[in-house]
Amino acid sequence: MFDTAVDVALAAFCAEPSASDDEILEKLVREGLDRWLAAQLVRWIPIAFARPLLERMKVIVDPTYTVGDRQYDLVDEPVYVAALARAANASKEELDATRPRSAEYRAINNALWAAGPDARPEGARVALSLDTKLALGDGDGGAPSVRSLFAELIEAHKINVTNGVEASSLARSAPRAWLARGLDQSCPSVGELRFDAWIYPKQGRFRWLQADFSVWHPRLAAPRMIESYVGLGDTWREAIVDAVTKFMQGSLHTVIASLIDRDGCASHTHWEPLEDVSPRFDLCVNPPMSFYAETRAPDYAALLRALKSALAKRQLSREVHWLRVLATGSNGAIDLVEALLDNDPWPDGEQIVANAGWDLVEPMWAARWFMVIVPR
C-alpha cells in the first residue's frame, strides 16, 4: 500500500541529505503528500533502513517501541513494514541518506566511538522510545501505490489477480498478517504471469518520475517484459496517475491480450499475422500514442508494414516477443529514436522508425507504439 510513498520519500532524503527531519517533512507536504503520511515516512524509513545493518552487527534490537509506559509492535505499523521491505533493495545513496537519522543507529555509533577502536557492537541492546504514536490518515496519503494500481487495472477486466488489490489493502490494515504470509516477497500474479511496478522519482520544478511496469512469464523470450512511462504533475499523485494512465492506454491491453486473455481487450487491440505467407506468429498491436505538441501523424500503417517485414526476416524463437518504438523531437528536428525488441536495442527497427516521416514541428513532441509478437 505504501511502497510508492516510500520511494517518493527516499528521493527527498537523497536530494537533501543534510536537511532536518522537519525540513524533509515540509518538503513532502509541499509536494502533495498528506501531512500524516509525510510524518510516518520521516519517522519510519530511517529506523527500517538502519535495522538490517544493526542486526548484521549482532546488535539486539527489540521488535517493539514504547511511547510513555505503553509498548507497541513495529510489525503493526504499515509504513514501517513497507519501508523494511524496500530496505532489502536499498542503494548505498539511500542508506547513507537515511540510516544516520535513526536514533538506534546513532546510539550504537556513539557508543562505539566512546569505547575506542577495539570496541565491538555484538550483544549491545537498543530500545526504541518515541514521544508519540502516529495515527494513519484516510486513503493513500497522496502517493498511490503503482503496484496496486497495476493490479486494479487488470482486475477491472474481470481477471482474478492473486496477491492483487486485496493484498495491498492487507498491507495497510494488517501488516503483521501481510508479512506472515510472505507478501513482502511476492508479486501479484495471474496464473503463470507475475507482474510488478515501481517508480523512480526525479527532483525538479515539477513532480516527475519514471514508472516501470514489469511482467514475468515462462513464455517470454527475455526474463521479463519492461514498459516504462514518464509521469508529470504538480503533485506526486498527479505524476503517478499520469504515468499509470499512459501505461493503461499504451501497453496494458496488449499485455492482457497476448499473455492472459487473447480476446479480453478486443476494443483496444487488434491481431494480425506477422508474416504474409505461412504465418508462424501473430502480432498484437496497441494504438500508437502521441504526447506534448499536436503534430501530423506519420503513415502508421506504412510504419507497421515496414516493421513487420523486418521482424519476419529475423529468426525469432518460438516464444513471446515484444517491440516498443519511440520517437521524440523539438525545434524542428528528431531528438531520439528508439526501437527495443525484447528490451534490447534493434538497429534495423531504429532506422525504420527514423524514416517514418515525422512532422518536425518546433515544440516538443513524442510518439510511442507497443506491440507483442505471439507464436501460433
Q: Decide: pTM greater than 0.85.
A: yes
Q: How far apart are CA 49 and CA 100, in angstroms?
A: 10
Task: Between 373 and 297, name the one with better pLDDT.
Answer: 373
**For the chain, percent of residues with pLDDT exceeding 70:** 96
128 forms beta bridges with 65
DSSP, collapsed to helix, strand or coil, labels residue 365 as strand
Mean pLDDT value across residues 64-91: 94
Q: Is residue 10 within 8 Å of residue 45, measured between CB atoms?
A: yes
Give me the mean pLDDT over the 225-229 stretch.
Answer: 96
**Band of the pLDDT at 261, cuts 50, 70, 90?**
very high
Question: Residue 115 above 60 pLDDT?
Answer: no
Using one digit for the tens of pLDDT, what is the confidence trace for 323-357? Answer: 999 999 999 899 999 999 999 999 999 999 999 99
Angle value at C-alpha 97, between 211 and 114, nearest 5 degrees? 160
Please tell me the predicted confidence (pLDDT) of residue 119.
59
Residue 225: enclosing H or E segment and its boundaries? strand 225-233
Nearest to 128 by CA among 220, 202, 185, 47: 47
CB 103 within 8 A of CB 111: no
Residue 192 has pLDDT above 60, yes or no: yes
* The pLDDT of residue 286 is above 60: yes
Residue 49: the pLDDT is 95
- Of the listed ranges 38-42, 44-48, 49-53, the least confidently predicted one is 49-53
Cβ distance 375 to 281 under 8 Å?
yes
Q: Which residues contact 107 (CB under 8 A, 6 or more apart)?
A: 126
